[in-house]
Amino acid sequence: DGDYVWSGSFMFQVYDVTGGNGTFSGKAFAMVPYLSYVKLAAEFRNIKVNTDNQVYEGEIKSVYNPNSPFFVTVDLDGEDYNTENDSIITTGDDGLNDTTFVADIDSIYIDGDDIIILNEDGTTDTIHTTDDIIITDSNGDTWIVENGDVIVGDGNGPGGSPDGTTGDVPVVNAFGIKIKLEFLPYDKQEYGFDKLTYDVHKDMYEQASVYGENVFLPWKSLAAASMDRVLVKFSDYDTTISPDKVKFRTNNGVALTSFENEGKKDERLVLMNGGANQTVESIEAYVAYKDTSDKNQELVVGMYKTISYEKKNVNIVIVPVNGTAGFSVGDFTEALNDIYKQAAISWTVTLQSQFDIEKSEWDKDDDGKLNDGETTLLSCYSDEQNKVIKKYKSDRDIDNESYYVFLLDGINSKTGLAGYMPLKKQVAFIYDGNTDARTSLSAGRLIAHELGHGAFRLWHTFSSENKYAMSQNSTDNLMDYNNGQRLHKYQWDFIQNPEAMIAWGQDEEEGALITEGTDLTIDIKGLNDDFEPGKKELKIEYEIKNFEKIAEEHKDVTKAYIWILKDNTVVYTSDLPLKNINTFIWNGKSNKDNVENDIVGLNDFIIKIGVTIEYSIVSNIFEWLFTSNVDFKLTSSKEQKWAVNKFEKEFDNFILKDQHGYTQTNILGSYVALENRLNQVGAKELSPMEYLSNHIVEGDFLGTNIPAINIRYLYVLRKLEESIGRNKKWNNNNSTFKNIINELNSTTNSDTRIENFARFSLCNSSLSDHALGFAIDFDKNRNIWLRSSENQNTNQSKFIEIVTEKMMIGGDYSNSSDKGAKEINQSHLDFLSRINDNNVEFSYNNIQSIYNNLNTYSSSIELLDNFRANSLNNSKNQLYSLLNNEQPESNEEFLTYINNIVEQCSQLKLLIEDDPSSLQNIKLLIDNSKKGLFLQFGINTVNYDQLYSFVETYTQNINTIINMLDEIINGNWNDRINWNAKLIIWNNSLNNTEFNDYQATIDRFKTNFNSKIGIFSKAYVSFANGVKSETDNSTNYSGKLLFNEGFCKLHSNVIKNICTTSISIDGNKTVKLLWGGSAYVNSKDFMHFELRDKPQDNRNYQQWVHEIDLEIIKNYLNSFNKPDGSEYNY
């Protein structure tokens, strides 16, 4: 009696039941869902019920009484029954129960244990009950009888019209309805309430569009066949729509009662009943109104979800150890129930008499503290804890249906814990150090936390085993260490259906693991090398000395077991015979939960063999003898051979073996690096070969084929394409996307457009992102990769800077906009045009000759200061004055006069006779600077025409003066007439000799020259040799093609769209591609794009794409057409 059965969508509480073996007769109350689970009398004969309490044969009929005001029409198994019951109803025991009247009620009052109902027609009805109840009349008006008080409802209960046509409704346009509401836990609620608080929990909450906004719906827990309330708080409303105009109903259209909360106009309480166990319903808050054309309309303004659970009661026994616990059982029970009522759990608490145990009976290491921290993988209590439990079991009887809490007096935890209870275990330890928990148990929180572990398998909120793991002490949750009491919806579900798990496979702090003895040793006698999981069985011949002897000596020895663990998680377990010598055979598959499955990434594992010694409560194992590990981690030659055989088979099946650098030698040489990278990106469950086989595919991007790429990176690239205009149908791509493809095609070679993709490669001994297929390069062999490392492209980078005046390595070219891409692409174009427009022969073949000449003539730069126009014109003018001084009249004085002129001209010649040669060296410096330093280009362009004019003019003028001086020095000037005749010619020549001012051009040349040679620190020869060597090196990424192809042919608009487009993946995460032209300071890889946030990150973006189910990725990629119109088939 009192159980529930289900027939169709109706729940029945049965009583006066007879029968058995699945066939029963008796009476029942029908819980009618669309009348808020009003209880109506029914009866049944010879119905058949299965183990899930579902009626699968027979009928349950309602009891008809035409004189009763209670009514309902029930449709069971396709038949209609007009059902009415007696005029006096006795309600059930749980929560608020609903009763619906056909009559119009005037008022209700309480008379002892009776509820007296005065009807509008003057008649009276009586309900005999002391329980809380909701009464609804035929008009939909409601009265709530709770705790002996009568509360008048709002006419929103059963019987009201949910279609928005009853009552006083406004006439408005839907956009004119203004009201906001929030669902909150009622401070007197019977069960639980949970709303989104932490982002990590988002997938627990359904999203819905409410009032034009996408919201996460809260959860409300209910107990089956019981009632509870939700608080609704209103805000931001006007006189058009007030809170009392908002109605509530289930997703099945069942109207719900609501009423003001203690007279607060902006708060209402919504009442709802729990359904059958695990029933989920949506509750809508809506406003009924008439639109401006007088049509009835509704607007949903709020929603939340309910889930119903079967009420369960759990027994707990408090055991004071070595001292008397001073606490109230009643207060403690109330506190425990107040926490676990959130999941419809109640507790029955029993306090036992004091249990005593001597220190010598448990303290193995004689430190006075209970050991709970020295753990292994095969037990959940320490050896010292086991001794306490064993002693208790020997002294007292054990109730297999109860949990036990040991309150330890004078005993503290060795690890400083306040309490300890392993998952899926029966005994909790509360230590003396936590005085509040021992003497003030009314709080109950610590015990509730430990019971969460032991009774309900709840992980800590910060445990790595928790799907919703968060940092410690960051929540108000019961399973955190922050003194909280809150339970989330996912924890309600666990409590109702605790997760099946084996305690010996859990984390240390979740359940300590201690052995009783390790006196078993295992000797492997034989091991086959050709083991292949799922294909070739593993056979291990072993011997465990004293195994049979131990079994005989320990009468409590029950069984021997074998466990196989991968990554500290048990994947296989089986019984073993209690024999010294045996052969174990395994097919390499998991049998967890008695279901055989393949094990992903089984490249190493651990085998343990153990014997149980039974000192258990409810089949809990407390003591173990076990062998040492058999560790399959390539620690012996046989195991290495097995691993190599496995690798070779995987490699043989790899479609890209021996292509793109994926050779056995390369992969094995970096196997650990590959494993570490897979662990970093969240794919550690796969071996490197399994991962590559499952993820490297052929694809395309921007209309260009990619022979090999990671399918998860291809997913991101396709998302990028879709963001900039790619359509599912290739022919329907938008103009922006088409333009980008045209720009790509115009600047790259069709046969090598995407030339670098998934390939095995290292970058300075580290694994490249190409290795797992998360990077691509456009036209790689025609576009240089500049790096500052020794023997890379340092000199070529400096040479590009010389030609373009743009620093490459060390330069900052942000990809936050298209500025960096434009600068780089323009520098590339400048580089090629300046090489071609230099008007001199320049190639990587004559660069050494050019820079050798620069080295030879570089000192001539200092001679330029000797050729200042003012100084030379002054010297010319001094010569003119010297020649035209007044001549003496006497011949004797004239000869002295001439000798003085000749002497001064000889001195002047000594000063200038080397100038023509110096000017020729300067000309050679200018010539080679033009060839090798490209000073004729750039912002501060040097005017070479003026430089050459300077050299030619100054050389000619100086030679003219030198010739004049030679004639003066070597002439015979005894004849005054001859001298004066020559003087006229010389004066004319001097008058026609003018040193024009070229100083501005010379200064600009000197400045630019010194700036350019500073780039390579004036190391002319070694720099030229470096450029030549790097240019000749064909393996150095396009080095030999630099002068022909440049360094960044990719159109700047293509770069901009690739690296500045935000790509949405997995709903709420956004990524961008990393461009090699802007990401790195000490290298420039202008054609390179990879899935990274920044060079030094933890590859978060790659982690995110590994969180997406591979089938979702494949389905997305397959939803597009290829550029040729055919379909993908990933």
pLDDT at residue number 159: 34
pLDDT at residue number 671: 84
Whether the per-residue pLDDT at 1033 is higher than 90: the answer is no
* CATH number, span 154-309: 2.60.40.10
pLDDT at residue number 327: 64
Instruction: Give the separation between CA 769 and CA 731, rounded to whole angstroms.
Output: 33
SS3 819: helix
Sign of CA dihedral 162, 168, 172, 176: negative
DSSP letter assigned to residue 234: E
Nearest to 158 by CA among 43, 13, 31: 31
Q: What is the mean pLDDT of residues 785-805?
A: 81
Range among 7-11, 630-634, 1044-1048 with highest mean pLDDT value: 1044-1048
Express each pLDDT in 636-645 by its tens digit: 444 455 556 6
Same fold, 154-309 and 522-643: yes
Phi, psi of 351 (to 5 degrees): -100, 120
412-413 and 369-370 as β-strands: parallel, antiparallel, unpaired?
Answer: parallel
User: In this predicted model, which residue has the larger pLDDT, 1110 or 378?
Assistant: 1110
Q: What is the mean pLDDT of residues 67-76?
A: 36
Instruction: Give the separation between CA 639 and CA 605, rounded to whole angstroms.
Output: 11
Nearest to 1054 by CA among 821, 823, 775: 821
First to last CA, the chain: 58
pLDDT at residue number 783: 66
CA distances from 721 to 430, 560, 754, 870, 1128 (A): 60, 59, 16, 67, 16
pLDDT at residue number 617: 33
Q: What 3 state SS string does 1029-1063 have?
A: HHHHCCCCCCHHHHHHHCCCCCCHHHHHHHHHCCE
CA distances from 751 to 656, 704, 781 (A): 20, 9, 11
Whether the per-residue pLDDT at 710 is higher than 90: the answer is yes
Instruction: Give the separation between CA 275 and CA 13, rounded to whole angstroms.
Output: 12
Nearest to 779 by CA among 1056, 1028, 1085, 1029: 1085
Rounded to the nearest 10 degrees, the angle between the axes of helix 688-695 and helix 671-680 is 60
Instruction: Give the separation between CA 1121 and CA 1130, rounded to whole angstroms.
Output: 12
DSSP letter assigned to residue 440: -
Sign of CA dihedral 488, 493, 497, 498: negative
pLDDT at residue number 684: 79
Identity (one letter) of the amino acid at 390? K
Instruction: Give the separation between CA 99 and CA 97, rounded to whole angstroms.
Output: 7
Whether the per-residue pLDDT at 108 is higher than 80: the answer is yes
pLDDT at residue number 554: 57
Inter-residue contact 872 to 954 (CB < 8 Å): yes
DSSP letter assigned to residue 580: S
Instruction: Give the separation between CA 1113 and CA 1065, rounded to whole angstroms.
Output: 10
Nearest to 92 by CA among 62, 132, 126: 132
Express each pLDDT in 995-1015 by its tens digit: 999 999 999 999 999 999 999
Q: What is the mean pLDDT of residues 776-795?
A: 75
Express each pLDDT in 474-484 by its tens digit: 999 999 988 88
Range among 75-79, 338-342, 364-368, 1021-1025 with highest mean pLDDT value: 338-342
Identity (one letter) of the amino acid at 911? L
CA distances from 76 to 42, 100, 213, 443, 535 (A): 12, 20, 40, 48, 54
Q: Is the CATH number 3.30.70 carried by domain 522-643?
A: no
pLDDT at residue number 224: 87
DSSP letter assigned to residue 1120: S
Whether the per-residue pLDDT at 504 is higher than 60: the answer is no
Radius of gyration from C-alpha coordinates of the chain: 47
Of 236-250, 378-392, 881-895, 1094-1108, the range with the lowest mean pLDDT is: 378-392
Express each pLDDT in 512-527 by its tens digit: 222 233 345 667 777 7
Q: DSSP characters for 295-309? A: -EEEEEEEEEEEEEE
pLDDT at residue number 749: 65
Reported as a pLDDT band with limits 50, 70 and 90, residue 157 is very low
Q: What percent of the chain has pLDDT over 90?
A: 29
Of 649-663, 696-710, 869-883, the range with the lowest mean pLDDT is: 649-663
Whether the per-residue pLDDT at 217 is higher than 50: the answer is yes
Alpha carbons within 13 angstroms on the beta-carbon side of residue 572 total 22
Q: What is the mean pLDDT of residues 322-347?
A: 85
Cα-based torsion angle of the residue sequence 387, 391, 393, 396 in order, rounded to the nearest 10 degrees? -160
Instruction: Give the separation between CA 137 and CA 1052, rounded to whole angstroms.
Output: 75
Q: At CB < 8 A and 24+ separation, what contacts does 1109-1115 make?
A: 1110/694, 1110/711, 1113/711, 1113/712, 1113/715, 1114/711
Inter-residue contact 362 to 322 (CB < 8 Å): no
> Residue 190 is inside which H or E element, if any?
none
- Mean pLDDT, the chain, rounded, equals 79
Express each pLDDT in 601-640 by its tens digit: 666 777 777 665 443 333 333 334 444 445 443 334 444 5
pLDDT at residue number 771: 92
CB count in 10 Å sphere of residue 590: 20
376, two tokens:
């292994």
pLDDT at residue number 257: 86
DSSP letter assigned to residue 658: T
pLDDT at residue number 472: 87
Express each pLDDT in 747-758 by its tens digit: 776 555 776 678
Reported as a pLDDT band with limits 50, 70 and 90, residue 229 is very high
Whether the per-residue pLDDT at 1081 is higher than 70: the answer is yes
Domain ranges for the chain, please list them.
4-134, 154-309, 356-505, 522-643, 664-837+1026-1118, 847-1015
What residues are paired with 776 via a beta bridge? 1089
Nearest to 909 by CA among 987, 967, 979, 978: 967
Instruction: Give the separation between CA 572 and CA 378, rounded to whole angstroms.
Output: 14
CA distances from 143 to 109, 147, 167, 229, 496 (A): 10, 13, 18, 15, 33
Inter-residue contact 661 to 761 (CB < 8 Å): yes
Of 125-129, 418-422, 599-603, the range with the lowest mean pLDDT is: 599-603
Say how far residue 985 (Cα) sits from the centre of its chain.
Answer: 93
Of 233-242, 677-686, 855-864, 1062-1071, the range with the lowest mean pLDDT is: 233-242
Whether the per-residue pLDDT at 797 is higher than 80: the answer is yes
Reported as a pLDDT band with limits 50, 70 and 90, residue 464 is confident
Of 118-132, 209-223, 270-284, 406-420, the range with the lowest mean pLDDT is: 118-132
In 496-556, beta strands by DSSP E: 522-527, 538-544
Whether the per-residue pLDDT at 426 is higher than 70: the answer is yes
Express each pLDDT in 244-259 by its tens digit: 889 999 988 888 888 8
Whether the per-residue pLDDT at 763 is higher than 80: the answer is no
CB count in 10 Å sphere of residue 98: 23
pTM: 0.47
Write down the residue that tokens 């490392």 correspond to.
789
